[in-house]
Amino acid sequence: MSQLKQSDEFILVGKIGASYGIKGWFKINAYTEVPEGIFDYSPWRVSLNGQQHLVKVADWRRHNKGLIAKFDGVDSINDAEAWLHAEVFVEAQQLPELEEDEFYWRDLKGMKVINDSGYNLGTVSGLMETGSNDVLVVDANAKDAFGKTERLIPYIQDDVIKSVNKEENTITVDWDPGF
């Protein structure tokens, strides 16, 4: 099988870190909102050295400030070290359904961002988590008056984000482009 990449079909949810102990355990770096949430999904598709593997987590637990886990059939430190730096994916269909006004970040990428005056601010290329609120990273169509090709727009529902229209692939914002 070919190397997995995040797509509409597969979602990157974590990465395998260093081995832990001698009985096949390893550290898990979870990218889920709640770190333990990574274990709500099974099986995992793990991408390692250009190959993908369907694996089942046999056991997991919190350890200090992190997470450790063990796969079925991985019983030694040598077995665990073979998984070092592997990326953990789940199928998109494994994710829970959201309410009508909720979105996964992947749903917003590629959407056109228009301010409430009708000005096209660009296209969402990504999102950032800042602690206080998420931020849309918008690639501008061209350099603005300040020479910028990227805009950062806080994702604050009802205040800045006025609407998200999946059918029209647009996000309407109350945001002045600054020129």
Report the sign of the C-alpha dihedral through residues 5, 6, 8, 13, in that order. Answer: positive
Task: List the CATH number of the domain containing 60.
Answer: 2.40.30.60
Do 43 and 114 share a domain, yes or no? no
Whether residues 111 and 154 share a domain: the answer is yes
Tell me the backbone φ, ψ of residue 80, rounded to 5 degrees.
-65, -40
- Please report whether residue 161 resides in a domain: yes
- Mean pLDDT score of the chain, rounded to an integer? 87
State residue 162's pLDDT score. 94
- The one-digit pLDDT tens for each residue of the chain (179 residues) are 344 555 558 888 999 999 999 999 999 999 988 899 999 998 999 998 888 999 999 999 999 989 999 999 999 999 999 999 999 999 888 888 888 778 888 889 999 999 988 889 999 998 888 878 889 999 987 665 556 688 899 999 889 999 999 889 999 999 987 65
* pLDDT tens digit sequence for 135-154: 999 998 766 555 668 889 99
Residues 87 and 109 placed together within one structural domain of the fold: no
Please tell me whether residues 115 and 156 are part of one structural domain. yes
Tell me, what's the pLDDT at 96? 82
Q: What percent of the chain has pLDDT above 70?
A: 90
Same domain, 117 and 78: no
For 151, the domain range is: 105-173
Do 45 and 117 lie in one domain? The reply is no
Q: Is the pTM of this model over 0.85?
A: no
Same domain, yes or no, for 111 and 47?
A: no
Q: How far apart are CA 111 and CA 129, in angstroms?
A: 18
Domain boundary among 69, 94, 119: 94
**Do 20 and 90 lie in a common domain?**
yes
Radius of gyration (Cα) for the chain, nearest Å? Answer: 20
pLDDT, position 2 = 40
**Residue 144: per-residue pLDDT:** 57
Helix (H) / strand (E) containing 127: strand 120-129
How many domains, the chain?
Answer: 2
